[in-house]
Structure 1
Amino acid sequence: MPINRAVVAALGALFAAPSLAPGQAGEALSVHGGAVLLGTIAAPGFDGRRLVEGYVTQPMLMAHGSAWSRRVSFSAALNLEPFTLRRGELNAGIWGEGYVDRRHPHTLSHEAMLTLAPLLADGAFRSAISVGKGFVPFGTDDPMSRPLVKFPINHHLSQILERGQVVVSAGGKAGVMEAALFNGDEPATPNSGVNLSRFADSWAARLTAWAGSSVELSASYAEVASPEVPDGTGLDQRKWNGAARFERALSGGRNVYALVEYSHTRDYDDEHPGLPSSSL
């Protein structure tokens, strides 16, 4: 049975600029970055070999800002993996973008989203619209934001990322509903931008509920047009995801984190179903 052991040698910020405190008009800006020095042993690896590799993985530069009493906000993330993970990162069982048993580098422009909120507000109810490139509201969050370094093998079943999108959201303290239109095709290379000619050929929706401050439940569905073929002539996908997350901060800087999710994707040729892929 393959062994994929990740040893984190160091984790630290590349740089961190202190956040600018909100002014009277609610302006705020923060810029920060980070990276992980990672060593991985895969035994057995390809062709029965023992593979030992090291990388700078998840090198990110991020910016977040808001203005006009937080009615306008933006988030941006520059991913430097195209320079540090050209061969991919050893990760047994994972696949995608031409890599097998290796995680592929994500695009240089990982995220760039502008949000206008609230469109409507009534007490605890709020709504917003977001435009840009980023994670589609489907499945669970970016694995880079989790405590574990290695990506799960269900990454392509449980997330739809780096798409041009328009997202509408509405909710309150108990939960939020999100819906998005986006381009279905995956980025072809780490330098790919948004394929505007395919914009709005796909859609997704997600309902998230919070039980207290530590428990999150979500269910989502998406119809993705030809994700593997940029000209739109490939198989379409219908995707489902259900997830439950528990996260709590403890004393001494420690955290308790647990995530359980079920993801299911089925290919379609027009309306004719193909083989399904599922993970738990």
Structure 2
Amino acid sequence: MSSLDLWQELRGTESAGRLTGREHRLKDPGRIDARVAEDVRVKGRTADEALAAITDRIRFSFCYPSDGYLPGMRADVAELRSRGFTEVERRNLWEAAVRLGTVSVWRAPGSGELFEVQFHTALSQSVRERSFPLYARLRSAESDDETRAELQALSRALCWSGPVLADRPFRPGGMAHRVAYYAIIDALSSRESPAGVLRRVMHPDGQRDEAFGHDLAWRHTFLLYSAERGNLDNKLRQISGIEAARIVGRVRTAAAAAAS
């Protein structure tokens, strides 16, 4: 089933919301290439495996009035299921208090093609669109640590709807050096055997995210920023430094075996 077929199929539903995003239904090829390259380096995947695992190459959005959001979303989810679409995963970003709506991944009948459906109010759709330029700069390897911390603070200020926390704004010199590690878990891996490992380094002059790859180096990664924005390709589980070192050891062993 092609993306246009999907659009026609979804448009034919008795939707409680307004189906939007036709012009953006196909992910930018450059961003697909970047995602594939990242999976090849960080997880040791083949290019075909990496491409097949991308859940949002095709995506659509339903937009509802605020007072009809939950019943509208439930009605459209039921309608999609009745047409043979299979829901793979859903993440409620309202619960994360970031005003980015609800993101879900579906499998099309017949072709088995994965696609993303977002469920929005006018507010959450506006926040997602207005925050995208910040996100694009945040995920870029060209941004330095100080700029990235400032972008993260701006993005949170735009998206956040919860209580303001004292340590959220970026203040140069105001944070001790700290490292948080995350296991990367995707459709081809598990909690017991993660696909890879990344770390968020926070220091007085800013922050950066790095993943340890099969090139045996810690390098910039956008995977954590992407997951925070609602991408469902990966689950990122915070782990200890000791567990991170074990994953690094497994990557080193796998890279050595592949080279021999």
TM-score norm. by structure 2 comes to 0.26
Higher helix share: 2
Q: Which has the higher contact order (CA 8 A, sep 6+)?
A: 2
TM-score norm. by structure 1 comes to 0.25
Higher strand share: 1
